[in-house]
Structures are given as C-alpha cells and as structure tokens.
Chain A
C-alpha cells in the first residue's frame, strides 16, 4: 500500500493495485460522520461497439445497454440489493455516464459490511429474461421523464448537432425502442467484457482506517477467481472535425425559450497531464469569458438576454469534448448571435491577460478547496481523472503553473467558427406568455 500526502490540503491518500488489477484508493476524512464509497467501471454509454471477451468479431449493442445493466445489477435471486443496504443503514445508488458506470453507497455505520455488499453485488451478476423484461417498463418511464425535461433535451440536442457518428450523441438511457432489444445474454456479454477488476476502481472516503479497509478488500478479492484479461477492444468511427449541424430548434411545451451555444473540442486524443492542462485552461477561458465578473456576463444580463439560469460548462473525455454556454432567454436568436460573436472575438484577443488569469486562478483554487469538502466530489472526480490518466490532486499545482500563453493557446485551439453550433427549445404553438 502506498501513501500519498498533500501537505497544503492536509489530506492523505492510500493506494494499492490488487493482484487482479483492481485499483483501490482510500482517503480518510476525520470529523465526518459519513463514509462514501464508489465502485466504478470504465464503461459507459459510448462503449456500444467492441469485441466481446473471447471473441474475434466486433459487435454493436443496443443504445442504453450500459445504463440498463446498471439497473439490473441491483437485482439478485434473493431480492433487491437496495433492501440489503438499507437493512445495514446505508443508502445506495448508481449512475451511468458517457464513459463510466458507478455503484455507490454512503453510510454512517456498518461501513465494513456495506463495503462488502457493494463489492460483492457488483461482482456477482444475476440476469434473467423475466427481470430484464420487467425493467423495460421502469426504464421506459425514466426515458419519458427525461423526454419531458426541456433542459435535458436542449443539452442532448446540442451534442447531437456536434457529432456525426460518435456515440456520445446518443442519450445515455437509449430509447424505448432500443432497450426493447436488450436480452439477458447481451447483458452478460457486456458484463464479462467490461466488469473485470482490471477495468475498475474502488474509492473509499470517510472516517475509516485505511489499513483495515485495504486488508478487507485484499481478502475479498483473493476469494474470487479472475483470469487475466486482454485489453478491451472498443471501436469508434472516425469523427469529422466540424460540427455536424449548425443549428437545431426543438419545439416543446414550455413558456420560456432556451438557447445553448456549443463548441466541439478539437484535441481530444490526449490523456494524462496534457489533458488536465487543456481541460483546466478551457475552464479558465470560460470563466474569463462568461463568469459573473466578466464584461460579457454584464452585457448579456443588462440586455435582458440571460437570467440566473445562465451557465457554462466544459466536458472532455478521450475521443470527444465540448464547451457550452446558455440558458433561458427571451430572445434565443439574439443570444445565439451574441454568444457566438463573443467566442470568436475572444480568439487571440486581449481578454486573456495576466489580470484576468490571476483573478480566475484564485477563484478556481478556492472553488477546488470547496469541492474537497465533499466526499462525493472526491470519489467521483478522482475516478474520472484516474480513468483519463490524470490526478485530481494535480489541479492546484497545474493552475498555479498556468500562463497567459497557455490559455491563449488553448483558446485558439478550441475556438473555430466551423465547430460552433446552436440548439434552442422554443414554445410550441407560440403559446409563450413572454
């Protein structure tokens, strides 16, 4: 077990790679009541074309299967794992993203037992035709719920505009039609390919003793017989550089229009520290351009083009990435136009200067400290970073070393007219009250 110390943050992190390849991290948090643990596989909604374990041919699986598998893993021959967690005083949950599926619990008592339950239930699949069929009704309602949510539709509409073939454009839960094709055999095939310990990471954060927890995990894993696993073969089609569509308008039952402007990222093949530097630089760029202390924010707010729903965000994973900004607006076309102009003006412009960088760097460092208050943030983000070869605890040093040239370079790499796209949600039948 190795121990890593972060003096400035006053945190310690313990790490060990199990014999079967599972990466285990433990971060003790004194004074906290709660222990939070995540058990995550590097397998998400985008992994829909791959070579199943032991087979030579690529297969294409139905959209939404990673998320479906996440739901089904909770059900066992003797009942529902949620029940077992709550008998042990824990609350359990799971989520599927583009690139990860995470299972988690939090509890203030019976931590060892809950951890054992977490590891064991994820490592012991039980799928039957009957339970698979039953789940289709529940997930169908989950899909319908998101379909009624205009912000979700707006977000996915924008991603769809950007990508021509990359599976990031597909809704994580799939569609009612796509999940209808899912069978128990497909779930087993995905499970065997992606849930090997060498593709997974366990993170435990809370008032725990790292020696005891690590020993528990060692013993748990030693009891299970995992064969060494060849590298997973995923397949992605070559994606075009420019945005696939320039604009999309969705008509929905809303009163207030919504507008998002996005940029498809260019350099998404990178991993590790290089990726961390790029990601943080782009986050700084968005803060400088659209943060509440920016001239742009003030202008848009004064003109009545944005309200407090305005937000911006940057997402990057291996093979895809996008920046976006927008929110509710009275004038979606004018907002799209102004945001696009602001982005293009910024490219190579003087807004990326020492004053703005230094102010934003301070803001980012303080925001990181605040985030580290949260066990959920630490476990989930650490895992995401690790799957991309990055280290969460490099955030502050990288911010401290960032120069004006770094952000100027990142801005000129990011911003390009042909990669900008717009998505709007407009009231159906012009029944807006505004």
Chain B
C-alpha cells in the first residue's frame, strides 16, 4: 500500500514523470514551470497562464477552445499560479476521461496531450505579440483577482501577515503580483516574457493514470521540445526575528482574525523536517491538537484555531477567528501551548496519534492525481530525492527529544490581528 512508483526521464528542456495507476477513471496531465519569485516578473507570470489557456492558434477564442474540451468528454483544463517557497510556480492541468469507461472507444489521452501542448507552444500570437484583446481581457480579470483577496477576510489576514513578516523578502510578494504592475504589461512585453520563461524556467510534465510509459514518452517528445537549460536556484534563507512584531488593523467586520507567523528555520528535505511535521501536528495541525483542544474546546474562543507549515520557506502560520475582545486571552493561550511544546509537555500517546494521522493524510493525498503531483513536486522544489516510503519511515523514527529540539527552534516573528470596529483590543 502507498508506494508511488514514478518513472522520470530527461526530455528536451523538461523532465517527464509518469505514474502508472489503474485506480482513476480519468488520466491527468500536469505541466509545471517554476522560476524565482521576483518583483520584476511576478505579475507577468501571474498573467501568462491565463492568457495561454484562453485561446491558441488552432483555437482562436475561448468558445472554440472550450467547445473542443466539451467534445473531448468534458476534459477539464485549468491553470494555477502558486508560491512554493521563494519560487512562483505555474501549473497547467488537463484531466481527460479514460475511454475504457465510455461507450465510445476513441482514444483520448493523446488528444489531451496535444491540446495541452497546443496551449503551451502555439499561442495566438503574431510578430512578437500576443493577441491584444485577449491580453487586455485577462489583465482586467487579473486586476479583479488581486482585488478579491481584500474581500475574503481570512485570506486577507493571512496575506497581510506574510506582507508584514517578510517585508524585505521576495516571499512578501503576492502570488498574483501587484496591481500597479498589471497596467504596465502589454501584448508584446508579455510575449517577450513568455519566450524568456519557456527558455529559462525549470519545467516538469506529469502524466498520471492508466497509461503506457513508452506511448506517453513518444507523444511528449513529438509535441514538446525546448532548449536545454540550467534553472536558476534560490537560496532559501529566513532572517532570525529580532523582537516580536505586533500589527493591528481595523475593519468593519464581525469576527477578529488572529494570524501569528513563526520562523521554524527548517525546510522540506532537511534532517529536522519530519520532527517539525510531528511538532506542528501536536501543536495545531489536527483536531486532537493543543490549539484545537485549548483555544476551541476548552475556552470556546474560536471555531477555527490551527497551525500549518509553509514547508519550503521555513514558516509556521497560526490562525484563529475570535471575538475582538478576546485577543489578549487568545494570544496568551497560544503562547502557553508553544511553551508546553518547548518544555516537552505532551504525551507519548500524542506523538503516536500524530504520526498515525500524518501517515494517514499522506496516503489519502495519494488517492487523487492532483495530490500525487503535489507530493512528487516537493522534491523538485527542494532538490531532494526522498521517496514517500523514506519520508514515512523517517517520520515514524521521530522521538520526543527531536520534537522538543524543533519546538525550541520555532520563534514567533509577527502577530497580526485584523480587528472588528466593535470592542477595543
């Protein structure tokens, strides 16, 4: 149970990863490309996948393209821009029915790969420019996407915490870029960046499903070929917090959003990472954790009270939605839980329980094609080679001392509180 076997091949300018599995009714094709997160390029990168997925030379507008997807038994095509550590990663995902489960025997996988390749390498462009109206429309949508962060207060609080905490680091950049930079992009500057990204980015293609390796490899080689490259690497460094920063912001909302950012100083792939995961699980990762039991169940202060790791940046984020008037009490209780972790005030049962639940979560993630790609992609970001089995056995070997040591490395950096207008802090 559980083992993923992927085969990895170096292709022209990218790596091909094939995971053969019979458990899905569809086959999934994911194209990922990563480059360092930088102010100069972040907004262009955030725009690019949306321009590419809206049309191509062969499918010159969205209606034609989307009709074709419908005809391919509702193949789904979507793009995504994500921050993984200090990289900005673009994903293009195409998920297509396996014809084995349809009344219609027409083979679909190759058509899906062809379509994804068409989107990537054959855009609607001429003489060094994308189609102007497409770019203008997608700029407008990107502006709205950037604005929408403000409207979802939980997301907004998380984003503001990062902005304050990582002020002088590229990580503070929003994954969708900056509003002011959107206006500066035009169809030719974006095209120029497109060329640059496809020549410099680290690129990976994942094909997951009931597929034949040789067939996928042949198809990928015939459709996608790029120059070879040495992708730019980022040193991940996390400045040590000097004193705890506290930032409060007032808005007309009902519930205060308390977000606390900690530096863990431990990255994915490093020796202490397994212990960090167990630490996070006991502290705030699950419904048996200290945060859930104390902030929520014992004190009834919150509906959500949890922590999660930013594995590739060495951060741990704590979040809780509370009454504005309960701010001090909530911060005190959260700090007490962290102290208990540092002092080893947790039971062996909590350790065992947490390891079991993390293992369960990992195995469950592998039951979706998307989850599989995310797990495998951690190694690309961290430049590591660890298999899921190695990772799991490493975690099972974590001791109480390891957890205490990790807990003592974790330092609170910034406390951010988005308060309601009623009731003083």
Interface residues of A (CB under 8 A from B): 8-10, 29-34, 80, 82-83, 86-92, 106-109, 134-139, 141-142, 144-145, 147-151, 253-256, 291-295, 297-298, 301-302, 304, 307-309, 328, 330, 359-360, 362-367, 369-370, 372-375, 400, 428, 433-434
Contacts and interface: CB of A to CB of B under 8 A. Distances in A.
B322 interface: yes
Interface in B52-87: 61-63, 66-67, 69-76
Contacts of A137: 300-301
A297 B301 CA distance: 44
A139 B296 CA distance: 10
B384 to A, nearest CB: 23
B71 A369 contact: no
Given A106-B364, A138-B300, A144-B321, A362 B151 contact: no
Contacts of B153: 148-149, 253
Contact of A10 (B73, B101, B297): B101
Given A29-B23, A367-B74, A369-B97, A87 B302 contact: no
Contacts of B354: 86
A30 B210 CA distance: 14
A391 to B, nearest CB: 18
A423 B109 CA distance: 42
A366 B75 contact: yes
B184 interface: no
A150 B151 contact: yes
Contact of B73 (A134, A148, A365, A373): A365
A10 B151 CA distance: 44
Which of B26, B101, B359 has the most A CB atoms < 10 Å from its CB? B101
Interface string B142-166: 0011011011111000000000000
Contacts of A135: 300
Contacts, number: 213
Interface string B281-302: 0000011100011001100111
B363 A34 contact: yes
Contacts of B369: 373
Interface in B2-34: 2, 21-26
A434 B321 CA distance: 28
B67 A91 contact: no
A309 B147 contact: no
B140 interface: yes
Nearest to A425: B151
A195 to B, nearest CB: 22
B147 A366 contact: no
Contacts of B72: 362, 366
Interface of B: 1-2, 21-26, 50, 61-63, 66-67, 69-76, 95-98, 100-103, 133, 137, 140-141, 144-145, 147-148, 150-154, 251-255, 286-288, 292-293, 296-297, 300-304, 321-323, 349, 352-354, 356-357, 359-361, 363-364, 366-369
A374 B411 CA distance: 39
Contacts of A256: 144, 147-148, 151
Given A141-B323, A148-B254, A34 B356 contact: no
Given A31-B22, A82-B287, A291-B70, 14 more contacts: A29-B23, A33-B1, A33-B363, A33-B366, A33-B367, A86-B288, A86-B357, A109-B360, A141-B304, A142-B303, A256-B144, A308-B145, A365-B97, A370-B74
Nearest to A298: B63
B388 to A, nearest CB: 11
A433 B147 contact: yes
A367 B254 CA distance: 39
B356 A31 contact: no
B405 to A, nearest CB: 24
Contacts of A34: 363-364, 367
Which of B21, B140, B287, B369 has the most A CB atoms < 10 Å from its CB? B287
B69 A293 contact: yes
Nearest to B300: A137
B361 A148 contact: no
A35 B421 CA distance: 46
Nearest to B292: A82
B181 to A, nearest CB: 16
A80 to B, nearest CB: 7
Nearest to B253: A148
Given A92-B287, A141-B303, A362-B71, A302 B22 contact: no
Contacts of B73: 362-363, 365-366, 369
A30 B23 contact: yes
A293 B321 contact: no
